[in-house]
């Protein structure tokens, strides 16, 4: 009995110590990240984001306990990550996990309170799949968090994966920081005007909007809520307009939905008209939020919907964020036949795709305020870090080229995603599409800077393989798969980009003479494999009709993307300033590129004056003097001969694929955000093998599967044989 007591008690005590040590170890721990790109450590951008906090940042996490894998691991990773942030940020950063879980099916008072708190921050449960009592069930789980910085709030509703979580958190923290700075910079209040016609109250029950009379109260309450959180930045006003002409004017000006109705005898409602919408104006900007929408449904007819009060605050904040410019501006050329960033409803109704760059637009809008620039009517704003030009198909006038050139001279980086051909689909969808070479005039500008695009499509033997339903494999030669050896990983923003799929790509070549004379450096970023060839004259992209050349001598590697960096020389140097084509709206004098920055721009010291012809007319003595910036500030031009890579079918909405990472990193690099690019890159897990022959693969497999065991076996026989000889020797010695 004494023995049992002593040993078992000792054993139980040891166990207790081990359990306690493990419990302590859960809170006091150390972690080393052995990965080359420090995937599991906090990035420089994250450290900087929390280290520069000026006000306390609180993170409230609402995460249900006891979730099945992989969600439980995500929770652990989130906690570890927040610990890392806290360690870097000091006292201004704190986080708290709130209990929102039910215990034995019932909710404790504390959990109910926390769920209400989550709800008040707009965090709602999401549906996940889990096994319970031998049944697969769907359950609601809280997996969100809210970041509170001063009075401002940013939320992440669903943290479903550890992948990219650091990127999400850091960009949210940066956004809050930017928002605080932008709000502090505001001189005036944003005017929120509610256009709500009281006449609509009469017909509200007839169109199924019984709550319409309470709309003003709802909007006012929402705006008061925003004011309480955002330094009282909104000024509210209500306009009750029932006059037809005024309604038409306001409707047209702010794109508001106006309703009109005839006499309704049964209800004693006279004919009338009205509109409902919220218009936000700040300085020269205006944006509207429709509060009533009309939807045409087959059979049912037109139905009307009122804005959801729960999402109203979010919608208004979305508009405000854009208005006050919490994100850096980025330019996007919106005319000259470039694809639309947002869907064109009219095209969609006619059966077209209605714009294929929605994903690109969404991904970019997270971090940038995209300013669409219609060059025919507008100028390129000063101070823009980057201008994106995507597959223009209509010619540029010299005056428009001059604007692009001068923007570059002022230091605006240019990202050019171009194609050599314009694809025209056959009418009625029958037959093969036709391809016409694109000649917009921009080509000569790019050639002057040092890069030229060959009018051809690159085919590659290393290409995407399509597997049709009926079986087999179809190589899509015009969709080259770029692998590690053809991707330049040297620039920081290209690190970890190890596999990219291109589509209908056109080859690029350097115009060496122009590069050497300008002193610009060119970095090749992407190229195809050595087994590539060109489709030049008769373009036919039906995979059935494409086959590689028989001779390897006809194949070569072709360059697809370049980054030019340095001080560029203006294309218009020693040339007269182009005249603005007639028939366009006048561009205000202060906006003209020749005028802008002529005294404040340091690069103007390099500029030389050139006289243009004196305008003819009554005042021939007046001679306009324009200044051309002949040498640029240090700038970058990124050229990719494949605009398809920006289309929705090539990018994922989460921005996690290498294609999306490459595109976003490039844009970040051109905007001087290399740290963000590095953080995004490190999440990339794709690490493909180099191309190997079947013989090499078989050899590696054979050596490792069969060779190693054979070696061990031979070694064993050797040891056994040596032992046997030794034993024989000893036996012989003793027998002798």
Partner 1 sequence: MSQIKIIALKEFKDYFISPIAYIVIALFLIVVGWFFFSTFFIYSRADLRDFFALLPMVFSFFVPALTMRLFAEEKNVGSYETLLTMPVSFVHIALGKFFAATLFTCAMLVPTLSYPIFISLIGDLDWGPVAGGYIGAVFLAGAYCAMGLFASALTRNQIIAFIIGCALCFTLTIINRMLFFMPSEIVTVIEYFGANTHFANFSKGILDTRDILYFISLISIFLFSTHLVMQEKN
Using CB under 8 A, list all residues that contact partner 1.
7-8, 11, 14-15, 18, 21-22, 25-26, 29-37, 39-40, 65-69, 72-73, 103-104, 130-132, 134, 484, 498, 686-690, 692, 696-697, 700-701, 703-706, 708-713, 715-717, 719-720, 723
Min dist. Cβ of residue 687 to partner 1 (A): 5
CA distance 664 to 362: 11
Indicate the residue among 41 and 372 with the shorter CB distance to partner 1.
Answer: 41
CA distance 593 to 28: 60
Min dist. Cβ of residue 491 to partner 1 (A): 16
Indicate the residue among 102 and 260 with the shorter CB distance to partner 1.
Answer: 102
SS3 of residue 422 by DSSP: strand
Q: Which of 476, 480, 600 is nearest to 542 (CA)?
A: 476
Min dist. Cβ of residue 167 to partner 1 (A): 18
Biggest distance spanned by C-alpha atoms of the chain: 134
Structure tokens at 713: 């076996």
Indicate the residue among 30 and 545 with the shorter CB distance to partner 1.
Answer: 30
Angle subtended at Cα 486 by Cα 480 and Cα 489, rounded to the nearest 5 degrees: 125
Min dist. Cβ of residue 145 to partner 1 (A): 19
Within 13 Å of residue 607, how many CA atoms lie on the same side as its CB? 24
Min dist. Cβ of residue 598 to partner 1 (A): 50
CA distance 492 to 451: 22
Angle subtended at Cα 290 by Cα 288 and Cα 295, rounded to the nearest 5 degrees: 145
**How buried is 452 (Cβ within 10 angstroms: 0-12 exposed, 13-18 middle, 19+ buried)?**
middle
Give how far Cα 189 sits from Cα of 186, 227, 280, 327, Å: 7, 10, 10, 19
Indicate the residue among 33 and 439 with the shorter CB distance to partner 1.
Answer: 33
CA distance 547 to 544: 8
Min dist. Cβ of residue 350 to partner 1 (A): 43
Indicate the residue among 21 and 582 with the shorter CB distance to partner 1.
Answer: 21
What is the 3-class SS of 74-126, one letter each residue?
HHHHHHHHHHHHHHHHHHHEEEEEECCCCECCECCHHHHHHHHHHHHCCCCCE
Using left for φ > 0, alpha for ψ between -120 and 50, and beta otherwise, residue 554 falls in alpha
Indicate the residue among 608 and 706 with the shorter CB distance to partner 1.
Answer: 706
Indicate the residue among 8 and 436 with the shorter CB distance to partner 1.
Answer: 8
DSSP, res 204? T
Min dist. Cβ of residue 130 to partner 1 (A): 7
Indicate the residue among 228 and 712 with the shorter CB distance to partner 1.
Answer: 712
Indicate the residue among 83 and 335 with the shorter CB distance to partner 1.
Answer: 83
DSSP, res 707? I
Name the residue with tokens 């995004």: 680
Q: What is the dihedral of CA 20, 21, 24, 28, to 10 degrees?
A: 180
Which residues have CB under 8 Å from 217's CB, separation 6+? Answer: none
Min dist. Cβ of residue 733 to partner 1 (A): 20
DSSP-derived secondary structure for 605-653:
GT-EEEEPPPPPSS-TT---EEEE--BPPSEEEEEES-GGGGSGGGS-T
Min dist. Cβ of residue 156 to partner 1 (A): 23
CA distance 386 to 369: 11
Q: Which of 375, 405, 342 is nearest to 594 (CA)?
A: 405
Considering Cα of 360, then 364, then 369, then 374, what sign does the dihedral take?
negative
CA distance 226 to 232: 8
Min dist. Cβ of residue 1 to partner 1 (A): 13
Indicate the residue among 253 and 701 with the shorter CB distance to partner 1.
Answer: 701
Min dist. Cβ of residue 703 to partner 1 (A): 7
Indicate the residue among 37 and 281 with the shorter CB distance to partner 1.
Answer: 37
Q: Which of 374, 732, 386, 426 is nearest to 584 (CA)?
A: 374
Min dist. Cβ of residue 26 to partner 1 (A): 6
Indicate the residue among 26 and 184 with the shorter CB distance to partner 1.
Answer: 26
Min dist. Cβ of residue 128 to partner 1 (A): 12
Min dist. Cβ of residue 463 to partner 1 (A): 15
Indicate the residue among 244 and 701 with the shorter CB distance to partner 1.
Answer: 701
Indicate the residue among 587 and 686 with the shorter CB distance to partner 1.
Answer: 686
DSSP, res 686? -
Indicate the residue among 348 and 702 with the shorter CB distance to partner 1.
Answer: 702
316-338 in b/e form (b: 16+ CB < 10 A) is bbebbbbbbebbeebbbbbbbeb
Min dist. Cβ of residue 680 to partner 1 (A): 18
CA distance 665 to 507: 22
């Amino acid at each position: 009995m004494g023995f049992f007591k002593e040993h078992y008690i000792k054993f139980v005590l040891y166990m207790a110590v081990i359990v306690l040590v493990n419990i302590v170890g859960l809170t006091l721990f150390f972690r080393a990240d052995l990965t080359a790109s420090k995937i599991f450590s906090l990035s420089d951008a994250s450290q900087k984001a929390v280290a520069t906090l000026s006000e306390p940042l609180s993170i409230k996490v609402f995460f249900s306990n006891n979730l099945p894998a992989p969600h439980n691991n995500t929770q652990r990773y989130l906690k570890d990550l927040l610990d890392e942030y806290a360690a870097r940020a000091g006292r201004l950063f704190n986080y708290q996990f709130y209990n929102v879980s039910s215990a034995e099916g019932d909710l404790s008072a504390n959990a109910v309170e926390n769920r209400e708190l989550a709800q008040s921050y707009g965090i709602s449960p999401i549906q996940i799949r889990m096994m319970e009592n031998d049944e697969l069930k769907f359950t609601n789980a809280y997996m969100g968090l809210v970041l509170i910085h001063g009075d401002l709030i940013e939320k992440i509703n669903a943290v479903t994966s550890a992948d990219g979580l650091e990127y999400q958190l850091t960009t949210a923290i940066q956004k809050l920081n930017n928002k605080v700075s932008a709000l502090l910079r505001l001189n005036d209040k944003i005017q929120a005007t509610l256009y709500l016609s009281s006449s609509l109250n009469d017909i509200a029950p007839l169109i199924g909007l019984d709550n319409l009379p309470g709309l003003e109260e709802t909007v006012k309450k929402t705006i008061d809520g925003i004011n309480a959180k955002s330094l009282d930045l909104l000024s509210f006003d209500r306009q009750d307009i029932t006059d037809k002409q005024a309604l038409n004017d306001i409707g047209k000006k702010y794109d508001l939905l106006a309703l009109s109705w005839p006499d309704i005898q049964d209800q004693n409602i006279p004919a009338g008209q009205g509109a409902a919408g919220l218009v936000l104006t700040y300085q020269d900007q205006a944006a509207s939020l429709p509060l009533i929408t009309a939807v045409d449904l087959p059979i049912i007819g037109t139905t009307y919907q009122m804005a959801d009060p729960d999402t109203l605050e979010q919608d208004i904040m979305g508009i405000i964020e854009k208005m006050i410019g919490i994100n850096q501006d980025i330019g996007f050329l919106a005319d000259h036949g470039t694809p639309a960033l947002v869907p064109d409803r009219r095209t969609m109704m006619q059966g077209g795709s209605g714009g294929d760059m929605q994903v690109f637009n969404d991904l970019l809008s997270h971090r940038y305020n995209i300013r669409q620039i219609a060059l025919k009517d507008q100028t390129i704003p000063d101070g823009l870090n980057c201008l994106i030009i995507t597959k223009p198909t209509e010619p540029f006038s010299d005056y428009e080229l001059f604007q692009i050139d001068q923007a570059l001279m002022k230091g605006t980086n240019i990202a050019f995603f171009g194609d050599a051909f314009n694809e025209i689909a056959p009418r009625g969808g029958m037959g093969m599409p036709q391809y016409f070479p694109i000649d917009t005039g921009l080509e000569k500008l790019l050639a002057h800077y040092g890069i030229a695009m060959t009018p051809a499509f690159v085919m590659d033997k290393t290409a995407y393989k399509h597997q049709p339903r009926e079986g087999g494999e179809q190589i899509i030669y015009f969709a080259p798969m770029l692998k590690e050896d053809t991707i330049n990983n040297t620039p920081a923003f290209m690190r970890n980009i190890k596999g990219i799929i291109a589509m209908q790509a056109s080859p690029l070549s350097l115009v060496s003479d122009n590069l050497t004379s300008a002193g610009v450096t060119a970095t090749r970023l992407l190229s195809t494999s050595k087994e590539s060839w060109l489709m030049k004259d008769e373009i036919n992209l039906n995979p059935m009709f494409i086959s590689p050349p028989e001779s390897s001598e006809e194949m070569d590697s072709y360059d697809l993307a370049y980054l030019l960096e340095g001080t560029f020389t203006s294309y218009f140097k020693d040339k007269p300033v182009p005249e603005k084509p007639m028939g366009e709206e006048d561009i205000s004098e202060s906006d003209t590129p020749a005028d802008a920055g002529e005294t404040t721009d340091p690069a103007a010291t390099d500029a030389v004056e050139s006289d243009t012809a004196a305008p003819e007319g009554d005042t021939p003595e007046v001679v306009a003097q324009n200044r051309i910036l002949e040498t640029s500030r240090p700038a970058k031009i990124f050229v990719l001969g494949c605009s398809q890579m920006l289309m929705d079918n090539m990018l994922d909405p989460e921005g996690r694929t290498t294609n999306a990472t490459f595109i976003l990193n490039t844009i970040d690099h051109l905007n001087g955000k290399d740290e963000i690019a590095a953080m995004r890159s490190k999440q990339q897990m794709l690490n493909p093998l180099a191309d190997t022959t079947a013989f090499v693969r078989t050899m590696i497999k054979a050596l490792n599967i069969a060779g190693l065991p054979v070696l061990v076996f031979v070694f064993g026989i050797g040891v056994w044989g040596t032992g046997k000889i030794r034993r024989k020797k000893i036996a012989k010695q003793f027998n002798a």
